Structure 1
Amino acid sequence: MVLLALLLGGLPLAVAGLLLPIEADPAARRTRPGIPARIGVRATALIAACGVSAMVAFAALHILVWNPTAKLPGMQLAEIYAAMAARGEPPGLAVGWVVAWAAGWAPLVAVFAAVAVLGPRGLLRNLDARRVARLVVLAVVGIGFGHWAAGFSMGMSLADAFGTSGSDAAPGGMVLIAAALFAFAIAVFKFGVPMLLPRPGEAR
């Protein structure tokens, strides 16, 4: 179930962003420090689409290119893949798994792109700048922590074919984890904690 959730990627976030009712009080929708609200919904959505796409591409390159070549210095990527195939570990399945994982984030990117072009109207009406920014934070958490699932098959194939360890050799993995931890902290203290606090004039 965990692997399935990670493979679905941005689909649950896209559905939640479209369907969850928006906060009725405009004051409650304000962002702090307010950057998304100042630059506007469309610009925020455009930055979000580009940012999520870039992070997914970074993770895919880390799994398929940078990490294999870092584990096996002196070998070109084509040589690594050829040796894997010759040793009974064809890389096609591992590459396909990464492509499927990356495609799982396409629905969220498509929603962001639609908001950037059309604005928050119709089916997109619930996606104001605040919600787009929150979805990006959650996407960073999902991509950063979930890239291990996408790279599991490649890591195992490399380990079986060359006797390497399963840990990352390239620094890209640490970059992704650091970004995910930072975004997770934002999610907890920016989204989670305020939900537990009473609103002004409301008693608990």
Structure 2
Amino acid sequence: MVSIVGLIAIAAYGLTAALQILVWNPLAAVPGATLDEIHDGLARRNESISWVAVLTWTSIGTLLALVVVLLTATRVISRLRTVVILQLLILVLGAPMYFFASFSVGMALADAFFISGGDYTPWGGLLGLVSAAALIGTLMVMIFRGKPGMRTART
């Protein structure tokens, strides 16, 4: 069950990151323009947004979480603590994945519209906070161990 909850949380993180990069941030960066107008403006400056690259980067965490679910279902991973640590670490890695996925999009917007390439909505920062909280959670789970063999993981 824990691995499924982790998969859902990680998939939501990836979906939020993809929407932030492909929709919300461009609309906020170029106020008053539609997505079509933004893409037209990018094309006029020989810039583009690769949705394939963005979706590839933002889906890596979901694929890793799916591997954890499968390993838990087949009892390769049976300790609850291990599942929790793995899922939290995947969320921690969401922040650098978000950076890699959003960097070229931010630069394309900056070059085409003469703006800063940073985030214009709070969602990117929120994703960073989720990753930071996951790092703290990982450290807490690693430091404060329960009784050995206390619980096993279930899909």
The TM-score bracket by the shorter chain reads 0.7 to 0.9
Q: Which amino acid aligns with 1:160?
A: D
SS in 2 for 1:88: coil
Instruction: Please give the secondary structure, in 2, of the residue aligned with 1:89.
Output: coil
Task: Report the TM-score when normalising by structure 1.
Answer: 0.64
AA matched with 1:154? V
1:98 match: 54
Q: Name the residue aligned to 2:37.
A: 79
1:119-138 aligned at under 5 Å gives the runs 119-121=73-75, 125-138=76-89
- Total equivalences in the alignment: 146
Contact map agreement 1:46 1:112 (CA 8 A) in 2: no
What is the CA-CA distance between 1:127 and the residue it aligns to?
A: 4.1
Runs of 4+ in 1 over 4 A off after TM superposition: none
Runs of at least 5 residues in structure 2 that lack an aligned partner in the other structure: 146-155
1:109 and 1:188 map into 2 onto residues whose CA distance is 19
Deviation, structure 1 residue 65: 0.7
Q: Does 1:111 align with 2:111?
A: no
Instruction: Give TM-score scaled by structure 2 length.
Output: 0.83
Q: Distance in 2 between matches of 1:79 and 1:113?
A: 41
Percent identity between the two aligned chains: 32
**Which position in structure 1 is the counterpart of 2:90?**
139
Letter in 2 for 1:63: I
Look up the match of 1:171. 122
Q: Distance in 1 between matches of 2:78 and 2:64?
A: 12
Q: Find the structure with the greater CA-based Rg.
A: 1
Partner of 1:63: 21
Distance, in Å, in 2 between the alignment partners of 1:155 and 1:71 is 9
1:149 aligns with 2:100: yes
Deviation track 1:158-194 (CA, whole Å, cap 9, x = no partner) reads 0000011022111101101111111112223432x46
**1:54-100 deviation per Cα after TM superposition (whole angstroms, max 9, x unaligned):** 11111111111111111111011121112101221022xx3222122
Query: Given residue 52 of structure 1, which amino acid in structure 2 is its aligned partner?
Result: I
Name 1:20's counterpart in structure 2: none
**In structure 1, C-alpha distance between the alignment counterparts of 2:59 and 2:130, rounded to whole Å:** 21
Which digits, 9 at most, give the CA deviation of each residue in 1:114-158, with x for residues without a partner?
357xx343xxx2243221211121111111343011100100000
**Aligned-residue CA RMSD in angstroms?**
2.2
In structure 2, relative to structure 1, the CA distance for the partners of 1:170 and 1:96 (3 Å cut) is: same
Compared CA separation, residues 157 and 172, structure 1 to 2 (3 A): same
